[in-house]
Amino acid sequence: MVLPLVDEANPKCTACHAGFGSMEELREHRRREHGEPGGEKGRSGPAPGDVSLF
């Protein structure tokens, strides 16, 4: 994928590629549109087949 060099200094959302003027705007967008990382989809325990070493 080739991105334009015009706005390379502005932060972009890695999920939807929307551009923003500041990191704070990007953080608010991520919280609103894409949810918190590790929210409901986070792991609650080991996956099947995981081996625990003590």
pLDDT per residue as tens digits for the range 16-34:
888 899 999 999 999 998 8
The predicted pLDDT at position 24 comes to: 94
Residue 24 belongs to a domain: yes
Beta bridge partner(s), residue 19: 12
Beta bridge partner(s), residue 12: 19
Residue 20 belongs to a domain: yes
Domain count of the fold of the chain? 1
Long-range contacts of 14-17 (CB under 8 A, 24+ apart): none
Residue 27 belongs to a domain: yes
C-alpha atoms less than 13 angstroms from C-alpha of 46 in its C-beta half-sphere: 6
pTM: 0.54
